[in-house]
């Protein structure tokens, strides 16, 4: 006997295949109907990622949220693991009826296992042990030499943001300066000028950041 799906949820069925095909084999897309939590999956694409199929249950995290009635907010950009240990980046959006009650959810589980492995490879390739820093004003290969401790402190603070300086916003740069200030970095001689060069701003901008922080 064919299962009857809530009409509101049924509208999302075509989207499951659409997104699954668009983002490829590493992207599992799942549609759940909460009318039967033990067999909630009514549509799925690339189910090989978690080993699930139609009429299987949702993940433990989502199942617990639904049982607790904790469905007011979507669960976005979280990570977990599949049964065979693959690393997943996931998002769950709850589907609501006209009364605002959660009746199902739309889930995306992206297998980032290979990307995580690649990140380590890239990190190793990009790791620099030298404390020599080339700035925008040293096209002629002039080297700005600073103390090794200062260099390591600044490099670590920047790496924590996981993005190149050129893509950093002002708020992120302020956060870097705040972290360095909390570590006492600016007590080191030449730190203001060095941090300014690394962050591609003026020394006066660093002073302004410090004024905002303090």
Q: Which of 162, 183, 31 is nearest to 107 (CA)?
A: 31
pLDDT value at residue 144 = 46
Interatomic CA distance for residues 102 and 83, integer angstroms: 27
Domain co-membership, 22 together with 83: yes
pLDDT one-digit tens code per residue, 12-32: 999 999 999 999 999 999 999
Domain co-membership, 86 together with 158: no
Domain co-membership, 152 together with 67: no
Q: Which of 64, 66, 97, 96 is nearest to 80 (CA)?
A: 64
Q: Is residue 214 part of a domain?
A: no
Q: Is residue 1 part of a domain?
A: no
Boundary residue ending a domain (116, 141, 169):
116
Residue given tokens 């820093």 in the structure block:
133
pLDDT at 35 over 80: yes
Q: Is residue 121 part of a domain?
A: no
Residue 24 is part of a domain; what is its CATH number?
A: 3.30.450.20
Tokens of 195: 């941090």
pLDDT at 138 over 50: no
Asked if residue 119 lies in contact with residue 134, where contact means CB atoms within 8 angstroms, the answer is no
Specify the number of domains making up the chain. Answer: 2
Domain co-membership, 16 together with 99: yes
pLDDT at 3 over 80: no
Does the reported pTM lie above 0.75?
no
pLDDT one-digit tens code per residue, 186-212: 888 889 999 998 888 999 999 999 988
Domain co-membership, 92 together with 143: no
pLDDT value at residue 52 = 93
| Domain coverage including residue 145 | 128-208
Domain co-membership, 14 together with 112: yes
Domain co-membership, 91 together with 17: yes
Boundary residue ending a domain (116, 149, 172):
116
pLDDT one-digit tens code per residue, 67-96: 887 888 888 998 888 877 788 999 999 999
Q: Is residue 122 part of a domain?
A: no
Domain co-membership, 91 together with 175: no
pLDDT at 146 over 60: no
Average pLDDT of the chain is 84
pLDDT one-digit tens code per residue, 150-181: 888 888 888 887 777 878 899 999 999 999 99
């Amino acid at each position: 006997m064919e299962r009857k799906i809530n009409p509101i949820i049924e509208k999302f069925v075509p989207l499951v295949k659409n997104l699954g095909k668009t983002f490829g084999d590493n992207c599992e897309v799942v549609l759940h109907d909460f009318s039967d939590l033990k067999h909630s999956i009514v549509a799925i694409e690339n189910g090989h990622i978690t080993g699930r199929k139609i009429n299987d249950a949702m993940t433990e995290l989502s199942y617990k949220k639904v049982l607790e009635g904790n469905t007011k907010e979507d669960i976005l950009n979280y990570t977990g693991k599949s049964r065979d240990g693959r690393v997943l980046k996931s998002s769950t959006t709850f589907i609501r009826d006209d009364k605002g009650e959660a009746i199902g959810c739309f889930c995306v589980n992206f297998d980032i296992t290979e990307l995580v492995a690649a990140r380590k490879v890239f990190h190793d390739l990009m790791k620099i042990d030298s404390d020599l820093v080339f700035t925008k004003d040293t096209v002629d290969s002039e080297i700005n030499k600073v103390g090794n401790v200062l260099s390591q402190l600044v490099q670590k603070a920047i790496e924590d943001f996981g993005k190149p300086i050129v893509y950093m916003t002002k708020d992120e740069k302020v956060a870097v300066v705040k972290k360095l200030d909390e570590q006492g970095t600016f007590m080191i001689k030449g730190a203001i000028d060095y941090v300014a060069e690394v962050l591609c701003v003026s020394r006066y901008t660093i002073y302004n950041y410090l004024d905002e922080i303090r």
